[in-house]
Structure 1
Amino acid sequence: MPLCNAIRTFARQRPDALAVCLSGSRLDYGTLHERITRLHGALSALPGAAPRPGVALPESGRLFALSAGNHPAAASLLVTALSTPHAVALLDPGWPEALLVQTLTRLPPDAVFCLSSQGGLIEAAGRLGIPAIRVDTADLDAFLGPPQELPWTEPATTFMVGFTSGTTSRPKGFARSRHSWSASLGAGREAFALTEHSHTFAPGPLAHGITLYALAETLDLGAGFHGIESFELAAAHRAMAEARRIVAVPTMLGALCRGPAQEQITEITTAGAKLDPKLLARARDTFPKARLHEYYGASELGFVSLNTHGRESSSAPAHSVGHPFPHVALSIRKDRAEVPQGETGTIFVRGDLAIDGYLWGGRNSGFRREGPWATVGDIGRLNSDGSLSIMGREGGMVITSGHNVYPQEIETALAGIPGIEGAVVMGVTHASRGQEIIAILQGEAAIDEIRARLAIALPRYKLPRHFYRLTDWPLTGSGKIARATLMDWLKRKDARLVTLAN
């Protein structure tokens, strides 16, 4: 990824221009470039470890782990991985400490950058002989070396080791090459209508792909990136006031829609879950001058498809996730063969944005390849206009009384009912039916109205048997609805789930 060229150029041309602002802590391009050269010098001086299978580093490259969340120091460390021969293992500080330690032991880095509160991680690093630099202390300034000119980075080398839970609770590790993000930056610039004025606010965690990618593409443009250490609405509105663009998952976008209209925002990018019609309408009202780019993708695949929503219309049917992203081909496949248009199957992608495979985990689940085609196991169909609709994920299909049912289809029908603000549909074990369908709702729609409208939209075997209402969704660290938590609440009959009269 030639991000070093962009940052070097902007540091020379506009050294005082804002590069990154995290919760009020600001870095201009001149200071950012100087800090990266000093981090590069310090990392290069570390003794290199033995080669790590699946992680491609040049001889001068080092792998460092980062577990500092959205602490202001994280910005320069992440940009160092994006623009030097070194790579970052991006640990999520929201993980249980035992999982952080386990991951560190499985993939020992050359250094760990963390918070002073992460005692177990620091202790584990000490046992492994790995330097632990606490970014919220004087450690980081003491670690910095003399400035060292940034060398050219090889496209095939690794710049990031990421982790995804996928369909299990145990994160799967994967390495991403510089070339894969380099290719997507060019395609994304055109698809998302980005310019040097696309000052971006991304409220999510930098440990997750959508926010980290927003940082990379913003700096590649020479624009300013704005983030916050943790989501709080007043802080989000302050950061958003300086931005012209928002990048956020739908749940966070929904939170940003509370409050007065934001006419300074001209572009919005969202991903991570399907955008429901009510949220799209609210976003159009809150951001009246913005186009909204909804893309479907995955950490392992990169961009897959894109639907751009204007003030009155969309580039593809609103129920879909749009048409294939530039330079990406789609194939709906079953039993290693492509199915006809309109039929349901597993979504496969062909392009140069996908990873090669997992470093560990994911056997018989998640990412896999069939020749040049790659998938994460999502189920969908290609519509008559070539747009893509998502039905669910392999293993997420509900089999009830012998019928195959995809929850996404029911969630889409529920989203169109007035008074429903959100819906999650799942299958739970049933003695005679195998599984039965349940729906968890947010909103004030009456149960009789819900049943009546669903009966018109869906065949009887797809109708949920039980409905529950809640006030607030449990969320993952990346801001997505935590379905595993909902299932746990169902099993424990948690009081936060209120049964609707049947």
Structure 2
Amino acid sequence: MPLRHAIDHHARQRSDALAVSVSGTSLTYGALADRLQRLHAALAALPYRAHKDLSLPTEARLFAVAVGNHPAAATLLPAALATPHAVMLLDPHWPAALHQRMLAKLPPDIVFCLSSQTALIQAAAHLSIPTICVDTDAFDTFLAAPAEITLTSPRDTFMVGFTSGTTSEPKAFARARHSWRASLDASRLAFALTDQSHTFSPGPLAHGISLYTLAETLDLGATFHTITRFDLADAHRAMTATRRIVAVPSLLAALCHGTPQDQVVEITTAGAKLDPALLSKAREFFPRARLHEYYGASELGFVSLNTHGRSSSSAPANSVGHPFPHVALSIRDAGHEVAQGSPGTIFVRGDLAIEGYLWGGRTSGFRREGPWATVGDLGKLNFDGSLTLLGREGGMVITAGHNVYPQEIETALTDIPGITAALVLGRTHRSRGQELVALLHGDTPLEEIRSQLAIRLPRYKLPRRFFRASNWPLTSSGKPDRAALLTWLEQKDARLAPLLPAS
């Protein structure tokens, strides 16, 4: 059932039921359905502009959103999911110059932003793109009289997203409606969701995991809760009304403070692998919750899933789980599938992937080989059918002639008691080509780390330098910023403390 029909159904059956709450600013299903009709009418009245790279009906418009988690997002984002219009997701934390380049490459019909985003407003004006500041009266003034929402096609574009990362120009991709329809059907079963799965997702709505969770929750007829910016007290208040949490590991760790939350029964996390210490902490703080850890990508959708109970998991700890429902996996090299247990590039086959990038990605990222699609992640299929990640094409480290995948070493490091997080980088070295450097959270002595790694890894995979970091920088999507950390290493930044043998 398309999301438009789901929202209409919930509005008719339970008009006063809470649909979305953003830091206490709320919309019922009845109010949401009304605002979607009014926004649809206002967007459809905008002058027509052709978007040759997108599949849009003539009555649809492309609207850009850069409002973060402002309460207006509770109307704007569902509009892309439930009307013929498509959203262009601009990260409000991007620098002004990047916003300008994205608008020039794909000019939307209108931009919704905050009044403080003056550079974005000026860039849009330069391109003759109208802007609406949602933190003023302009947004409610823009909405028109309610109009019947026209039907959508499964092949139509509903979203233009961007790959995450701060070291290169983001690559844009378009998503068709049918891909998320298939995802919603699969995740409902995989995550055991019902109309009582009231969900708190504290992350940025400009990122796929939170936006997808919004769609998932509205499709069920449950309530979606978020906050305008992360604050632990606000987060705990929002959690009291929810049974489910969806968050990247860094935000999940931030939530695990204070009084344990026994009303939460389901947690979903993605974006980075859970380290054992955080899994243990989450089990203590959410004593009744099952924790679903999935691996996926914006371009691929869901790939694999590992579900953790109180004392056991559905897949081995060194894996990212078994294939997601309706997804087939293949580990391939030079166009051919490799033997089970051998490393290669992870390819997926299913209904969840995009067709390709709108720009960029000629030499890296998403590509297809027949029915199979990949983003260049490397891994191996274990003999129990689970998937182990080894890194990303181009992220492999070549040291003294050996090919080494940092993820494998990071997993071995976080298995050592006392190490709560680990990152392994390849730093240029005069004679070895690259040397392996490990950055750690934890207080385990260097001698213990080295002796434990010697049991787990061959000699050529052992890091030559170890540093302790109390914190490390994250990208806007909550992942470790490896480029910034390499700069810290080169500049001998004091935030990285070398681990030395005990005297």
Would the TM-score normalized by the shorter structure come out above 0.5? yes
Structure 1 residue 295: Cα displacement: 0.5
Q: What fraction of aligned residue pairs are identical, expressed as a percent?
A: 69
Q: Is this contact kept in 2: 1:166–1:172, CA < 8 A?
A: no
Question: Which residue of structure 1 lines up, in the alignment, with residue 464 of structure 2?
Answer: 465
Q: In the alignment, what sits opposite 2:107?
A: 108
Q: For 1:372-387, what aligned pairs fall within 5 Å after superposition?
A: 372-387=371-386
Partners of 1:385 and 1:120 lie apart in 2 by 53
Superposed CA RMSD: 1.1
CA distance in 2 between partners of 1:268 and 1:413 (Å): 25
3-state SS, counterpart of residue 455 of structure 1: helix
Aligned residues: 501
Superposed counterparts of 1:310-349, under 5 Å = 310-349=309-348
Structure 2 counterpart of 1:416: 415
Pairs within 5 Å for 1:39-188: 39-53=39-53, 55-165=54-164, 168-188=167-187
Select between 287-296 and 227-236 the one with higher mean Cα deviation.
Answer: 227-236
Q: Which residue number in structure 2 is paired with residue 368 of structure 1?
A: 367
Aligned AA (1:321): V
Structure 1 residue 462: deviation in Å? 0.6
Q: 2:10 aligned with 1:14, yes or no?
A: no
Give the superposition deviation at 1:405. Answer: 0.5
CA contact (8 A) 2:208 2:298 kept: yes
Structure 2: how far apart are the matches of 1:286 and 1:126?
A: 49
Q: Which amino acid aligns with 2:262?
A: E
Q: Distance in 1 between matches of 2:347 and 2:245?
A: 29
Letter in 1 for 2:405: Y
- Mapped contact 1:2–1:152 kept (Cα < 8 A): no
Question: Does the CA-based 8 Å contact 2:167-2:483 persist in structure 1?
Answer: no
CA positional deviation for 1:440: 0.5
Match of 1:464, SS state, is coil
In structure 1, what residue type is equivalent to 2:221?
G
In the superposition, the TM-score normalised over structure 1's length comes to 0.98
Equivalent residue for 2:199? 200
Q: Secondary structure at the match of 1:189?
A: helix
User: C-alpha offsets along residues 213-261 of structure 1, whole Å, 9 cap, x if unaligned?
Assistant: 0000000000000111111211111111111000011111111112221
339-348 vs 278-287, greater mean Cα deviation: 278-287
Q: CA deviation at 1:168?
A: 4.8
1:269 aligns to 2:268 (yes or no): yes
CA distance in structure 1 between the partners assigned to 2:25 and 2:491 by the alignment: 43
CA contact (8 A) 1:62 1:110 kept: yes
Q: Please report the TM-score for the alignment, with normalisation by the length of structure 2.
A: 0.98
| 2:449 equivalent to 1:450 | yes
Describe the SS at the equivalent of 1:424: strand
**Contact conserved, 2:426 with 2:437, CA < 8 A, in 1?**
yes
Query: Distance in 2 between the 1:5 and 1:353 partners?
Result: 21
Match of 1:3 in 2: 3
In 2, are the aligned partners of 1:267 and 1:291 still within 8 Å (CA)? yes
Aligned equivalents of 2:483 and 2:200: distance in 1? 29
Unpaired runs of 5+ residues, structure 1, are: none
State whether residues 163 and 173 of structure 1, in contact with CA within 8 Å, keep that contact through their aligned partners in structure 2.
yes
**Are the counterparts in 2 of residues 167 and 365 from structure 1 also a CA contact under 8 Å?**
no
Deviating runs (4+, > 4 A) in structure 1? Answer: none
- Deviation string 1:252-300 (CA, Å, 9 cap, x unpaired) is 1111112221100000000111111111111111111111111110000
The 10-residue stretch of structure 1 (295-304 or 269-278) with the greater mean CA deviation from structure 2: 269-278
AA of the residue aligned to 1:90: L
Query: Structure 2: where are the runs of 5+ without partners?
Result: none
